[in-house]
């Protein structure tokens, strides 16, 4: 998927990834890639401004821990983040369902007027 399209939904995706458990930046991007079967490829650096923005908004919290010998900033979803995730997920499902219904409807042939119908008979 084009990264520009993905960026519009990045906050939701990051919160969703972190709803499965806390993680550091590299872990988050790896989970995102794995769970999308590699469809979500974007410059990995883009997750950091998004993570920081979500933390500033109170939707994520972070702390520093040593994991596998490296000092890492681990992010976790806050209660406000869980509520925001639930709300945004609901909105996304409604929106994507509507889009799917529109795209899934086969184009109907326009009804021909009686005069024209005679010409085609």
Partner 1 sequence: MSGPIPDTPADPVEDYLDQLLITLSGSPRQVRHTLAEVEAHLRDAVDEGVAAGLTQSQAQMLAVARMGPVHEVTGRAPALARPSLALARRIALTGALVGGVGFLAIGAAGLVARVLLAVKGTAFLTAPWPSGSYTRADCSHWLAGDPGTHSCVTAMLADHAGDFLLQATAAGLLGLIALAAYLTLRQRWQDRATRTALPAGTAEALGAVLAALAALACVGQAVDTEMVQHGVGAGVPWSLGAAAAAAAVVFALGLWRALRRPATA
Q: Which is nearer to partner 1, 24 or 31 (CB)?
A: 24
* Residues binding partner 1 (CB under 8 A): 24-26, 29, 42-46, 48-50, 52-53, 70-73
Q: In a 10 Å sphere around its CB, with 0-12 CB exposed, 13-18 middle and 19+ buried, how is residue 49 labelled?
A: exposed
Closest CA to 59 of 42, 33, 84: 84
As measured in angstroms, the least distance from the Cβ of 77 to partner 1 is: 18
Of 48 and 95, which has the nearer Cβ to partner 1?
A: 48
Q: Which is nearer to partner 1, 68 or 120 (CB)?
A: 68
Structure token digits, residue 91: 């909105």
The token duo for 57 is 């908004």
Residue 89 beta carbon to partner 1: minimum distance, rounded to whole angstroms: 24
């Amino acid at each position: 998927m084009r990264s520009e399209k993905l960026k519009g939904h990045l906050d939701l995706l990051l919160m969703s990834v972190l709803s499965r458990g806390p993680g550091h930046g590299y872990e988050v991007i790896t989970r995102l890639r794995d769970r999308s079967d590699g469809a979500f490829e974007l410059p990995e650096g883009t997750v950091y401004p998004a993570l920081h923005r979500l933390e500033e908004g109170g939707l994520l919290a972070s702390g520093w821990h040593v994991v596998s010998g490296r000092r890492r900033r681990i992010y976790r979803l806050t209660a406000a983040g869980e509520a925001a995730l639930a709300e945004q997920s609901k909105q996304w499902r409604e929106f994507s369902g509507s889009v799917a219904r529109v795209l899934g409807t086969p184009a109907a042939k326009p009804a021909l007027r009686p005069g024209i119908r005679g010409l085609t008979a």
